[in-house]
Amino acid sequence: MQRTKIKDALAATQAMDEIVIKGWVRTKRDSKGFSFVEINDGSCLQNIQAIVDHTPEIEATLADVGTGAAVGITGSLVESPGKGQKWEVRGTAIELIGTADQETFPLQKKRHTDEFLRGIAHLRPRTNKYGAMFRIRSALAQGVHKFFAERGFFYVHTPILTGSDCEGAGEMFRVTSLEHGSQAPVEQDFFGRPAHLTVSGQLEAEMFSLALGDVYTFGPTFRAENSNTPRHVAEFWMIEPEMAFVDLAGDMDFGEEMIKYLVAHVLDTCASDVELFAKWVDKSLMPTLETVLNREFVRLPYTEAVDILIKSNKKFDYPVEWGIDLQTEHERFLCEEKFKQPLYVYDYPKSIKPFYMRVNDDDRTVAAMDCLVPRIGEIIGGSQREERMDVLLARMKEMDLPEDHYWWYVDSRRFGSVPHSGFGLGFERLLMLVTGVSNIRDAMPFPRTPNNLDF
């Protein structure tokens, strides 16, 4: 007989004479003549309770069933007299599929710290919290594709191996097929030139937006920034829409629409998983999400943001003056203290931004935008792209970027260049927003950070 997932069993509209449940034991309590076994199979947050009547054979099996063991229980689905759940299983047979050594199984009934669980990332999805996190992560990813599909966007698979540094920040992982310590010249390496893991699919996505119109990429990106913060990881997923015939204002509108859609999607599809976070992780989660859903995002020029920060008379670790890149402390002040809601800061100084951003008429700023949200700071970084070839070339020269290296990118401005815009939304930061977790490592199955390559 095929197994029924616990999610479906708990949603049953009538009793079932025959059912097979398979999953992992959360608790077992022996009574006289029968045992209670609580099983979770990951299909939902809830466990199902099975009551298994003892026969000599069943008792012998149950003796080896402990927390964490995998079992299959055959029986019937009956109405539960207990509070809290509608259905339970009356088990007539139990199969021990995989034992779990009770001496060494690390997940006890008590609450474990996030730090402890990070050390056992291979087992943490078996806890309530991380099971919920990774179901939400899955729903959010599916929501991303749904959002774009409903708007006629095409999904482009941009390369992960690349020869260009999109952000120009030099924070790239080198890729080579040469032995470690090899003195061989780069010409003898696999690609005959330096190769890296991509930091962003944007440049390639731009090429496709200039052909298919509205496109997006959604995939892993890599940054070798040595910043040990709760918001940075070396490998993260980024959602990058790129839209032809759209300017910076349209770009910001689209980002706001997307964040609101995805927050609503998660609340819609993962209600009980989100509830767990609202109850145990962040008491202000629901009000925060309400604010995200209901407020129109503020739009604030960088120059005004700097004024506000200076006039606030707050003591920041990084002093504020026009021209600096905003730090998390500045972003969070604007978002959490000044405006108390999501906002965009736009028109940043040209000198702190990459070569591809469109230069504004003042020649000091570029058409860049960051979206800032409470508790996290930057969640989106984007811009209108420089579509004018002469301006682009001048900027590249200014920044010492080799034109021959980016020949294909420049070429796109030679033939039918049009205004276009896009942004990158950090997928894990969005997960932090919708779950309230404060460390990005807890929003990734197997986080990659400096000196941490386990799993």
Residue nearest to Mg ion as judged by C-beta position: 381
Q: Where are the beta strands (DSSP E) in 108-213?
A: 154-155, 161-162, 174-175, 195-197
Q: How far is the CB of 56 from ligand 4AD (least distance, A)?
A: 56
Piece of the chain touching Mg ion by CB under 5 A; list 241-249, 305-313, 354-362, 377-385: 377-385
CA–CA gap between residue 352 and residue 92 (Å, rounded): 68
d(CA 250, CA 369): 11
Q: How far is the CB of 332 from ligand 4AD (least distance, A)?
A: 14
Q: Site for Mg ion (CB under 5 A): which residue of 131, 381, 419, 447? A: 381
With CB under 5 to 8 Å by kind, the binding choice for 428 among Mg ion, ligand 4AD, none is: ligand 4AD
Whole-number Cα distances in Å, 116 to 113, 123, 230, 436 = 5, 11, 16, 19
Residue closer to Mg ion, measured from CB, 134 or 346: 346
Structure tokens at 222: 């890599």
CB closer to Mg ion out of 37 and 368: 368
- β-partners of residue 197 are 161
CA-to-CA separations, 15 to 23, 319, 354, 436, in angstroms, rounded: 20, 66, 62, 38
Binding of Mg ion at residue 75 (CB under 5 A)? no
Q: How far apart are CA 260 and CA 93, in angstroms?
A: 48
- Shortest distance, position 368 Cβ to ligand 4AD, whole Å: 9
Which helix (H) or strand (E) element contains residue 148?
Answer: helix 128-150
Closer Cβ to ligand 4AD, 68 or 201, answer by number: 201
Q: Nearer Cβ to ligand 4AD, position 285 or 326? A: 326
Total interface residues for Mg ion by CB under 5 A: 1
Q: In this structure, what token pair is assigned to residue 92?
A: 């007539």
Nearer to Mg ion by Cβ, of 282 and 331: the residue is: 331
CB of 260 to ligand 4AD, least distance (A): 17
Sites of contact with ligand 4AD (CB under 6 A): 166-167, 200, 202, 223, 225, 232-233, 236, 238, 240, 378-382, 422-424, 426, 428-429, 440
**Residues 191-210 close enough to bind Mg ion by CB under 5 A:** none
What DSSP assignment string belongs to 184-221?
A: --GGGSTTSS-EEE-S-SHHHHHHHHHHHSEEEEEEEE
Which one of the spans 155-163, 192-200, 202-210, 376-384 is the region binding Mg ion (CB under 5 A)?
A: 376-384
Residue 429 near which of Mg ion, ligand 4AD, none (CB within 5-8 Å, type-dependent): ligand 4AD
The DSSP bridge partners found for residue 298 are: 343
Q: Which is nearer to ligand 4AD, 91 or 143 (CB)?
A: 143
In degrees and rounded to multiples of 5, residue 34 shows phi and psi of -160, 170
Residue closer to ligand 4AD (CB basis): 130 or 344: 344
Which partner from the list ligand 4AD, Mg ion, none does 167 bind, CB cut-off 5 to 8 Å by kind?
ligand 4AD
Position 427, amino acid? F
342 or 381: whose CB is closer to Mg ion?
A: 381
The entry of ligand 4AD, Mg ion, none that residue 204 binds, CB within 5 to 8 Å by partner kind: none
DSSP for 319-355, please give it. ---TTPPPPHHHHHIIIIIISSS-EEEEEEEGGGS-T
Residue 382 interface partner, choices ligand 4AD, Mg ion, none, CB cut-off 5-8 Å depending on type: ligand 4AD
Hey, which residues between 322 and 361 contact Mg ion (CB under 5 A)? none
Residue 449: phi, psi to the nearest 5?
-135, 170
Q: Which two tokens stand for residue 311?
A: 């006039």
Amino acid identity of 328? T
* From the list Mg ion, ligand 4AD, none, partner contacted by residue 412 (C-beta under 5 to 8 A by kind): none
* Cβ-based nearer residue to ligand 4AD, 19 or 371: 371
- Count CA atoms closer than 13 A to 395's CA, side-chain side: 26
Instruction: Report CA Rg, the chain.
Output: 26
Residue 165, contacted partner among Mg ion, ligand 4AD, none, CB below 5-8 A by kind: none
- Taking alpha carbons only, the member of 130, 60, 121, 66 closest to residue 98 is 66
Task: Based on the shown chain and the rule CB under 5 A, indicate whether residue 426 belongs to the binding site for Mg ion.
Answer: no
User: From Mg ion, ligand 4AD, none, which one binds at residue 282 (CB under 5 to 8 Å depending on kind)?
Assistant: none
Helices 128-150 + 427-435 axis angle, to 10: 120
DSSP conformational letter for 385: B
Nearer to ligand 4AD, 5 or 448 (CB): 448
380 binds, among Mg ion, ligand 4AD, none (CB under 5 to 8 A by kind): ligand 4AD
Distance, in Å, from the CA atom of 89 to the CA atom of 51, rounded to the nearest integer, reads: 6
Name which of Mg ion, ligand 4AD, none residue 421 binds, using a CB cut-off of 5 to 8 Å depending on partner kind.
none
**Where along the sequence are the contacts to Mg ion (CB under 5 A)?**
381
